[in-house]
Structure 1
Amino acid sequence: MTVTATKFTPEVMLSAPRRSPGVPNPSGKLVLYTIRVLDIESGNSELLTEDPEAGCPVWVGEEKVLYLKTDSRGNTTFIVRSVKSPEPESYDIGKINAPLSDLKVKKLPSGNIALACSALVNPDGELVNPETDKKPLSSAKVYTSLFVRHWDTWNSDRKRSIFYGALGEEDGKLVLLGNTLTNALGGTNLSSPVPPFGDSADFDIGPSGLVFVAKDPELDPATYTKTDLYFIPLKTFTEPQAPAPRIIKTPGLEGYSQTPVFSHCGTKVAFTRMHSRQYESDKTRLILVPDINNPDVTEEFYATEDGAGGWDSRPEAIAWGLDDSHLYVSAEFHGRRMLFQLPSTPSKATQFPKLIETPKGSVVGFSVLHRPGSETTVTTADILFVSSTSLIDNSCYSIAHPGTLECRLISSTSKEGKSFGLSRSQVDSIWFSGAGDYDVHAWVVRPSTFSKDSKKKYPLAMLIHGGPQGAWNDSWSTRWNPAVFAEQGYVVVCPNPTGSTGYGQDFEDAITGNWGGRPYQDLVRCFEWIEQNMPEVDTDRAVALGASYGGFMINWIQGQPLGRKFKALVCHDGVFSTLNQWATEELFFPIHDFEGTLYENRAAYEKWDPARFANEWATPELIIHSELDYRLPVTEGLAAFNVLQAKKVPSKLLVFPDENHWVLKPENSLVWHREVLGWINKYSGVEEEQKSN
């Protein structure tokens, strides 16, 4: 953005440029993101192509980029483009009659370039093009087993699979060898990337083959979370048939496997894995495969005899140092996603990972920069390219030096929030005593016009996060952005009560079987702390908003004493009755969080049922729900609205027929913000203040 907004509004937020995490080229001088290239030294960027059908760009040389173009007929073309100016060259190297995504490449010792991507296949392992696929005459769907639907899609016999191939050079140009791709998972009954959010992070390419994660085909995916790591040995990536995948064994750990990454030498793999096979938010453990050709041997970092793991954090993304002696991992910590360094051998990791200095906010991506001669230097001299966001900045690129505290800003789309009319001075955090012997953290975002010297009091907007194993982090969002509410004239408080991630696994696990217990009491303590310690906040004009589990908590609050403290409530895709949790798709979620099935432990579901207290509902409430939300079906919103209307409680229903658990379409998002802000502003008095100004 080049013009500073006079006020940060939903329109400003949604129109702001969006950048993917940056990926450096081999020399570390240029960075590829979205469909642009950034020069690190100058900070200038250039658009690769204006084609709206282009995507998935990857480096295939110092100044060459490979990307995919999928046309309206579902056909995908591989295109190579030089980033040289002023007349960059581009050419096609192959076409596949199906949509492809999640492109990844790796230069092989032979000089060729291995590539892998994902695509939809039929039960025979053949590519499927939804645009040209034969349409059934009837819309009927018949099922005799779970999974019936997932996230926002009715399941079918189509599934995702990984395809591989190789690029060679002819007459100075890259070509797709054999002009074909091979289904790596053909005949295996495995699917990867893992739906609904799996992407290229679910697999990686090494000089000796592919590693990938996939659901255990022997377990019901609706009731189990178990995903395993597999290795497929490949030498040239032109093999017409892939060898059978070999499972990586991790005795005692049977939960999600995620983010496999080959070492630079190509013989080792690091990845993460959870313990429980029925818990999506278990603590992730960092695992090493010392020799990928011996998949029976793995080592766990910070392992303990009791199996709990010594490092009380959840590692996520992984990168290897240039000489493979160190690992860099990201993990949540106290409301931020931070970056850490540790030795790449578990036996040498005798101390917990070292925190690396990064910009204020949360890391969303990072890469180790290559430098001439770096192969002979120690990894404390590694340089990291870091992509991050914050509560006031939607995209920030920086250079971090793990060996020092130095971190240098390279580029910010919003000039560190200035283009939005936002500043870091608006962001604060508080700690308050929770319902037990522990403290709870919350983020605070104030209006840009806020002045401590003023006698003006601002109404409270309390935002309650979903998950419930989630957290409000110092990071950007276009769906629930605290700054949007703050700029309306609220002091926004975003608490991370019991169940939140980033504050230790015990704190996170304590919400199990306790949905309306400790978390609710933590929110009560938060409200009381604000009343007693934040004189600039007018709690008599408070409003509360939440989505998903946060929507459950809004409906729970409605039937509890705290509900009478708020002038208005907003419930987005929330839970009306926990007895309806078995209408969801991922059944392992209620099985874990309510400590059993509905028919085996009905009392646990009834205990925290918001509908049980519907006779107490009295606070004006806006209900928002979407018809493609299969996680929490639209009937949950309809039931809550019907109760409010029948009780003559002021209420409004907003429904999106074409959205899922999230509101993603820009025009729908504008309507969402208009209705939400209009609702809370009406009851908090902000509407009258805005008219008077």
Structure 2
Amino acid sequence: MTIRAARFTPEVLLSAPRRSAGVPNANGSKVLYTVSTYSFAEHSGGSEVRVLDTATQESTVLTDAGGSEPNWIGDQVLMLVSGSNGTTDVLVGPTNDFANSNYTAGNIDASASSVKLAALEDGSYAIAFAALAKPDGSLYNAEKAPAPTSSGRLYRAMFVRHWDTWITPNRNAIFFAKLSRGSSNSTSGNSYAMSDPVNALKGTELESPVPPFGGTDHFDISTSGLIFVARDPDLNPATNTKMNVYYSRLTFSETTAPAPVNISVPGFDSAASSPVFSPNGMSAAFLKMRQNGYESDKNQIFIVPDVGRPDSIVPMLATADGIGQWDRSPSSIAWSHDGQTLYLLADDLGSVPLWSLSVNTGAGSRLPQLLAKQGSFNSIRPLSTGDVFVSGTSLVDNSAYYLVSPDATGIQRVVSSNSRNGTAFGLSRSQVSEVWWPGAANGTRIHAWVFKPSTFKENATYPLAYLIHGGPQSAWEDSWSTRWNPAVFAEQGYVVVAPNPTGSTGYGQAFTDAIQNQWGGLPYEDLVLGWEYISQNMNYIDTDRAVALGASYGGYMMNWIQGHDLGRVFKALVTHDGVFSMAGQMASEELYFPEREFGGPFWNNTENWLRWDPARFTHNWATPHLIIHSELDYRLTISEGLAAFHLLQDKGVESQFLTFPDENHWVLNRENSLLWHTVVLDWINAHVGLPKYSEQSSNGRALKREADMTSPQDEVVGGIRDLKL
């Protein structure tokens, strides 16, 4: 880190170097990673691929020319770099002189990503990557594709668009090739050269990685071939979540791929993820859910002891009723170096720890053991030494690398902290605490994170920022975010309370499942009880100066709160991409989601859908309300935000509407995100008596707009089009 912030602001959050998960070499002595930076002064950014020497803590730039996907290939580095005309170059070179000694091992005639490598017995490497393929199975290059003569799209079935993209005939595919030693354009004369890539999914009607978020967690390669997950091709993805696990036996010298074999798991008809080969390539493990249509069902663990017999599966921690013994839902798996242990990441009480599970446990009673818990881990890399290298974040640190020993519980060593455990941001772990209160359902307890200002004084009082998470099957975790970061609000002078009400993950599957048919019920009651707990027990919070904010389901909850009694205790509300009308959810491409949540299709369950409809209670809307909704959000369409804003305006309720034509469910562009933060902070600060953010900083002042109440004026200032009326 080259910065030290006197105060943590949106500019600091958004311009801070963003570091990827680390990719260690076999013994963990060196770590590859990418880092991106941005300057609001210059309105530009850059990215680098770097290598960290863990002994000396020296970090060296390998390239700043747009490299990505760094991987170890022996003691050298392989990475992808965008080539000309939409192609991708595969570069290989040494870490000590990559800039001058790298060479092109191959060229991919498309935009490629999600690289995986596997060492083969003859000293060569198998390489697999993801890229778009045309209907005939060949690589799709967007820059070389002929321009259409018409903009029309004709669809004959559902799933016409997803997340932020309209569905086209081109599909994600996994391509494989072989990197062999031989003469090339390297001066060593003993460099790697890549064979022509082969589409492993050609002619199958399968798509993997599954959009929009699938990547290397959707496939793996080894000496024995390829394992991957894909949606069931016989089911409509708009109303089904079923994904299958497939195995292809490969020698990596084929010019065509054999037909993949479906690894069927009876009784488990929903999503699948994290297929991984054992170190010797002879076994595999993966995660799968039971209930089709329920994307937040519990992941359960399966092992294929012999991939040559893919019909022989061992369910780990199984029970006769199919629920499984372990009451946590793992999100990622990795094999230990000796192949005897599975390492897992799974939500637990507002964090994501590292767990271990003996492969020999099978359906036995020994549950996964907690190995390390520090913030939220997001990547597992077992080392040849037997230790485990993990990457993660926390509420005060945007990237940290750790070494964990399986022989001892807890962190063995902090390899590297991107922000020096938050001190580079002016943040401290002492600002973070936790509270619990009794929930609405019998026997439940609600957990919440509390984030105080760095200037906190015991004898002072502070306004409340009540943050409600999305999902709804999700959770506020001890992790970093560039979109909803509690520290940003705390450093404005708020005490932030971020609760995990009914429906949240990491508190047992029954707690997660309990939100079904309860969207405005139990979670709302949990939040009301939270408000009562805060009022009675946290005397440093001034509940007369409180605001509430939420996105996605959290945005739904803001709209629901607005129509109910809790809405009257807040000075202002903020809804980001939330639900206004349940009937409007028929416009979503993921119909399986509301159909599962509300007990079936809209036409058969209309009353149940409308039971929790915020639009039914708009006669109560009275609290000042900022609505944010972007045009590329195809899951919660922009009409939801417009309807809410129009209703507020029509009723004469103080309100604003912020939209971005180029953003989806999230605001990702850093300039857009700075504007988002400025508008949000200006809105809530003005309603609790804090200075507007646009009056505090140079970037904020650039976005400040003076109201002109006398005549309409359309003005573009600081990147925002402000229609003054």
TM-score, normalised by the number of residues in structure 1: 0.96
2:191 corresponds in structure 1 to: 174
Does the CA contact (< 8 Å) of 2:314 and 2:362 recur in 1? no
- Give the 4+ runs in structure 1 shifted more than 6 A: 688-693
2:347 corresponds in structure 1 to: 332
Judged with a 3 Å threshold, the aligned counterparts in structure 2 of structure 1 residues 76 and 690 are, in CA distance, closer, same or farther, namely closer
Question: Aligned runs of 1:105-124 on 2, under 5 Å?
Answer: 105-124=117-136
1:528 corresponds in structure 2 to: 532
2:283 corresponds in structure 1 to: 268
1:128 corresponds in structure 2 to: 140
Rounded Cα–Cα distance in structure 2 between residues aligned with 1:398 and 1:192 = 31
Give unmatched runs, 5+ long, in structure 2: 35-48, 184-188, 698-725
Pick aligned residue for 2:164 from 140, 152, 155: 152
How far did residue 688 of structure 1 move? Answer: 7.7
1:685 corresponds in structure 2 to: 689
Rounded Cα–Cα distance in structure 1 between residues aligned with 2:661 and 2:84 = 24
Q: Does 1:345 align with 2:360?
A: yes
Q: Does 1:58 align with 2:75?
A: no
Does the CA contact (< 8 Å) of 2:371 and 2:410 recur in 1? no
1:377 corresponds in structure 2 to: none
2:610 corresponds in structure 1 to: 606
Pick aligned residue for 1:198 from 214, 224, 229: 214
Deviates more, 1:618-627 or 1:92-101: 92-101
Q: Does 1:12 align with 2:12?
A: yes
User: For 1:556-584, what per-residue CA distance to the aligned partner results, in whole angstroms no more than 9, with x for missing partners?
Assistant: 00000000000000000011111111110
User: For 1:200-245, what per-residue CA distance to the aligned partner results, in whole angstroms no more than 9, with x for missing partners?
Assistant: 111001111000000000000111001111000012x120111110
Does the CA contact (< 8 Å) of 1:531 and 1:539 recur in 2? yes
Does the CA contact (< 8 Å) of 1:300 and 1:346 recur in 2? no
Helix, strand or coil at the partner of 2:352: strand
2:399 corresponds in structure 1 to: 395
Q: Does 1:165 align with 2:190?
A: no
How far did residue 177 of structure 1 move? Answer: 4.3
Rounded Cα–Cα distance in structure 2 between residues aligned with 1:72 and 1:430 = 54
Rounded Cα–Cα distance in structure 2 between residues aligned with 1:86 and 1:58 = 13
2:256 corresponds in structure 1 to: 241
How far did residue 289 of structure 1 move? Answer: 0.6
Judged with a 3 Å threshold, the aligned counterparts in structure 2 of structure 1 residues 87 and 593 are, in CA distance, closer, same or farther, namely closer
How far did residue 98 of structure 1 move? Answer: 1.3
1:279 corresponds in structure 2 to: 294
Pick aligned residue for 1:258 from 265, 273, 290: 273
Rounded Cα–Cα distance in structure 1 between residues aligned with 2:692 and 2:115 = 52
Does the CA contact (< 8 Å) of 1:167 and 1:174 recur in 2? no
Does the CA contact (< 8 Å) of 2:678 and 2:693 recur in 1? no
1:378 corresponds in structure 2 to: none
1:73 corresponds in structure 2 to: 85
Rounded Cα–Cα distance in structure 2 between residues aligned with 1:678 and 1:533 = 29
Question: Aligned runs of 1:658-677 on 2, under 5 Å?
Answer: 658-677=662-681
Rounded Cα–Cα distance in structure 1 between residues aligned with 2:683 and 2:619 = 23
Helix, strand or coil at the partner of 2:427: coil
Q: What is the identity, as a one-letter code, of the residue corresponding to 1:344?
A: V
Rounded Cα–Cα distance in structure 1 between residues aligned with 2:22 and 2:348 = 23
User: For 1:307-331, what per-residue CA distance to the aligned partner results, in whole angstroms no more than 9, with x for missing partners?
Assistant: 1111000011111111111111010
Give unmatched runs, 5+ long, in structure 1: 372-381
2:433 corresponds in structure 1 to: 428
Rounded Cα–Cα distance in structure 2 between residues aligned with 1:284 and 1:240 = 36
1:569 corresponds in structure 2 to: 573
Deviates more, 1:527-536 or 1:124-133: 124-133
Q: What is the identity, as a one-letter code, of the residue corresponding to 1:483?
A: A
Rounded Cα–Cα distance in structure 2 between residues aligned with 1:88 and 1:71 = 18
Q: What is the identity, as a one-letter code, of the residue corresponding to 1:428?
A: S
How far did residue 504 of structure 1 move? Answer: 0.5
Helix, strand or coil at the partner of 1:590: helix
TM-score, normalised by the number of residues in structure 2: 0.92
Does the CA contact (< 8 Å) of 1:463 and 1:493 recur in 2? yes
Rounded Cα–Cα distance in structure 2 between residues aligned with 1:284 and 1:591 = 21
2:390 corresponds in structure 1 to: 386
User: For 1:414-460, what per-residue CA distance to the aligned partner results, in whole angstroms no more than 9, with x for missing partners?
Assistant: 110000000000000100011122100000000000122xx210000
Pick aligned residue for 1:578 from 582, 588, 606: 582
Judged with a 3 Å threshold, the aligned counterparts in structure 2 of structure 1 residues 98 and 19 are, in CA distance, closer, same or farther, namely same
Does the CA contact (< 8 Å) of 2:436 and 2:447 recur in 1? yes
1:300 corresponds in structure 2 to: 315
2:660 corresponds in structure 1 to: 656
Q: What is the identity, as a one-letter code, of the residue corresponding to 1:228?
A: N
2:507 corresponds in structure 1 to: 503
How far did residue 87 of structure 1 move? Answer: 7.3
Rounded Cα–Cα distance in structure 2 between residues aligned with 1:692 and 1:312 = 47
Rounded Cα–Cα distance in structure 2 between residues aligned with 1:100 and 1:68 = 8
Judged with a 3 Å threshold, the aligned counterparts in structure 2 of structure 1 residues 86 and 634 are, in CA distance, closer, same or farther, namely closer
Helix, strand or coil at the partner of 1:626: coil
Q: What is the identity, as a one-letter code, of the residue corresponding to 1:326?
A: T
Pick aligned residue for 2:54 from 36, 40, 44: 40
Rounded Cα–Cα distance in structure 2 between residues aligned with 1:484 and 1:297 = 51
How far did residue 84 of structure 1 move? Answer: 1.6
Q: What is the identity, as a one-letter code, of the residue corresponding to 1:201?
A: D
Rounded Cα–Cα distance in structure 2 between residues aligned with 1:634 and 1:490 = 30
Does the CA contact (< 8 Å) of 2:351 and 2:376 recur in 1? yes
User: For 1:306-360, what per-residue CA distance to the aligned partner results, in whole angstroms no more than 9, with x for missing partners?
Assistant: 11111000011111111111111010000000100110134375311110124x3
Deviates more, 1:38-47 or 1:509-518: 38-47
Q: Give me the identity figure in percent.
A: 52
Q: What is the identity, as a one-letter code, of the residue corresponding to 1:230?
A: Y
Q: What is the identity, as a one-letter code, of the residue corresponding to 1:10?
A: P
Rounded Cα–Cα distance in structure 1 between residues aligned with 2:81 and 2:695 = 49
Does the CA contact (< 8 Å) of 1:357 and 1:402 recur in 2? no
Helix, strand or coil at the partner of 2:310: coil
Rounded Cα–Cα distance in structure 1 between residues aligned with 2:377 and 2:602 = 39
Does the CA contact (< 8 Å) of 1:21 and 1:366 recur in 2? no
Judged with a 3 Å threshold, the aligned counterparts in structure 2 of structure 1 residues 165 and 533 are, in CA distance, closer, same or farther, namely same
1:375 corresponds in structure 2 to: none
Helix, strand or coil at the partner of 1:656: coil
Pick aligned residue for 1:102 from 114, 120, 142: 114
Q: What is the identity, as a one-letter code, of the residue corresponding to 1:56?
A: E
Q: What is the identity, as a one-letter code, of the residue corresponding to 1:58?
A: N
Rounded Cα–Cα distance in structure 2 between residues aligned with 1:226 and 1:243 = 23
Rounded Cα–Cα distance in structure 2 between residues aligned with 1:39 and 1:692 = 40
Rounded Cα–Cα distance in structure 2 between residues aligned with 1:280 and 1:329 = 19
Superposed CA RMSD: 1.5
Judged with a 3 Å threshold, the aligned counterparts in structure 2 of structure 1 residues 86 and 552 are, in CA distance, closer, same or farther, namely closer
Rounded Cα–Cα distance in structure 2 between residues aligned with 1:293 and 1:497 = 45
How far did residue 30 of structure 1 move? Answer: 0.8
Rounded Cα–Cα distance in structure 2 between residues aligned with 1:390 and 1:24 = 21
